[in-house]
């Protein structure tokens, strides 16, 4: 797996969400993931971008979304950072709880966690950074545990 | 590919053939407007044919939940037909598969409406 890093600074728009999803899919293909994993990665990035644009930056044209892809050591590492107020992971309701099952929102982080091997959320007063890791099957170093 | 819908009537049931992506923004809005329009016409037996839906995100899932609840609250029924593997898997992991009445064959689905 060739190691490289690419980053994008994007506006807080719905176009950013689509662009992030498409870029993630392309990079996942280039990294050697299969069809199902490409779909999972692109959806996880889409959901993270939705959170950044809607809930983080709240469509504020003055705030940007930073998206970074890094392939290293058999892992695809994706970082999405917004400039919002900060998402507290502890306050995210469980969408599988009976009382939440019929809610019309609140499944984004759950889907991200379902599709990626590792998910770390770093909230701060100046924004939220979410780091997504997917191990490339069969790659040298793939499947290793990343540090927290 | 953006979301498209078309409707047809079979034995008192409105079948909504959906195609494309049910995602945040246009796709979800189109589905929402379609269901509201049917309800406003008194068409409360709705079968969503998702055979040609290529992609759905968490907003799209939320829109399906909203449609299901809205129709039920107005005394109607909404069922899902012909899920692709992707949509099927998403409804499984979100535990919604058993909430929705999911059908695999159109004729049987139409007959299943009360």
Domain of A130, CATH number, reads 3.30.565.10
* pLDDT score of A148: 36
**3-state SS assignment for residue B43:** coil
A47: containing domain: 4-135
* pLDDT score of A1: 56
Query: Would A67 be classed as within a structural domain?
Result: yes
B44: containing domain: 4-111
Stretches where chain A sits below pLDDT 70 are 1-2, 139-148
Query: Would A146 be classed as within a structural domain?
Result: no
- Give dist(CA A20, CA A14) in Å, integer: 10
CATH number where B29 lies: 3.30.750.24
Query: Would A147 be classed as within a structural domain?
Result: no
Higher local confidence (pLDDT), A19 or B2: A19
pTM of the model: 0.91
Contact A108 B58 (CB under 8 A): yes
Query: Would A140 be classed as within a structural domain?
Result: no
Nearest to B39 by CA among B17, B70, B12, B9: B70
- Give dist(CA B94, CA B108) in Å, integer: 26
Query: Would A143 be classed as within a structural domain?
Result: no
The helix (run of H) or strand (run of E) holding residue A19 is helix A14-30
Per-residue model confidence as pLDDT tens digits over B54-100: 999 999 999 999 999 999 999 999 999 999 999 999 999 999 999 99
Residue A47, chain B, CB below 8 Å: the answer is yes
The total number of structural domains that make up chain B: 1
State the complex-level ipTM: 0.91
| Chain A nearest CA to B45, separation (Å) | 20
Question: What's the order of all strands across the beta sheet hosting B77-81?
Answer: B4-10, B13-22, B45-56, B77-81, B101-103
The token pair at A101 is: 């099952």
Indicate the residue of A17, A95, A103 with minimum beta-carbon distance to B24: A17
Indicate the residue of A47, A102, A103 with minimum beta-carbon distance to B57: A47
* pLDDT score of A65: 97
Closest residue in B to A50 (Cα) is B24
Residue A50, chain B, CB below 8 Å: the answer is yes
| Chain B nearest CA to A96, separation (Å) | 6
The total number of structural domains that make up chain A: 1
Neighbours of B16 (CB within 10 A): 21
Residues 6+ away with beta carbon under 8 Å from A125: A85, A86
Query: Would A141 be classed as within a structural domain?
Result: no
- Give dist(CA B94, CA B114) in Å, integer: 27
Beta bridge partners of B48: B16, B80
Where does the pLDDT of residue B114 fall: very low under 50, low under 70, confident under 90, or very high at 90 and above? confident
- Give dist(CA B67, CA A55) in Å, integer: 23
| Chain A nearest CA to B64, separation (Å) | 8
Closest residue in A to B28 (Cα) is A104
Query: Would A148 be classed as within a structural domain?
Result: no
* pLDDT score of A2: 64
| Chain A nearest CA to B72, separation (Å) | 12
Contact B24 A50 (CB under 8 A): yes
Per-residue model confidence as pLDDT tens digits over B16-31: 999 999 999 888 999 9
* pLDDT score of A110: 97
Q: By the 8 A CB rule, do A104 and A28 touch?
A: no
Query: Would A10 be classed as within a structural domain?
Result: yes
Contact A107 B25 (CB under 8 A): no
* pLDDT score of A146: 39
Contact B57 A14 (CB under 8 A): no
Contact B69 A102 (CB under 8 A): yes
* pLDDT score of A145: 44
pLDDT value at B35 more than 70:
yes
């Amino acid at each position: 797996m060739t190691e490289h890093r690419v980053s994008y600074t994007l506006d807080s728009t719905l176009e950013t969400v689509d662009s992030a999803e498409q870029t993630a899919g392309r990079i996942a293909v280039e990294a050697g993931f299969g069809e199902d994993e490409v779909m999972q990665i692109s959806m996880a990035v889409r959901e993270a971008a939705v959170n950044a644009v809607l809930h983080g930056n709240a469509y504020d044209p003055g705030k940007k979304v930073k998206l970074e892809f890094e392939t290293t050591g058999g892992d695809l590492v994706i970082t999405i950072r917004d400039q919002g107020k900060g998402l507290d992971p502890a306050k995210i309701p469980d969408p599988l709880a009976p009382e939440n099952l019929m809610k019309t929102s609140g499944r984004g982080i759950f889907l991200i966690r379902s599709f990626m091997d590792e998910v770390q959320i770093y909230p701060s007063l100046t924004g939220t950074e979410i780091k997504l890791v997917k191990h490339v099957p069969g790659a040298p170093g793939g499947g290793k545990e990343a540090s927290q | 590919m953006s979301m498209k819908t078309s409707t047809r009537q079979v034995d008192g049931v409105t079948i909504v053939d959906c195609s494309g992506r049910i995602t945040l923004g246009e796709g979800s809005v189109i589905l929402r407007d379609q269901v509201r329009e049917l309800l406003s016409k008194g068409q409360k037996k709705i079968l969503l044919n998702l055979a040609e839906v290529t992609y759905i995100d968490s907003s799209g899932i939320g829109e399906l939940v909203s449609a299901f609840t809205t129709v039920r609250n107005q005394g109607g029924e909404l069922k899902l037909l012909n899920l692709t593997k992707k949509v099927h898997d998403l409804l499984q992991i979100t535990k919604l598969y058993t909430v929705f009445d999911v059908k695999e064959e159109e004729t049987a689905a139409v007959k299943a409406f009360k």
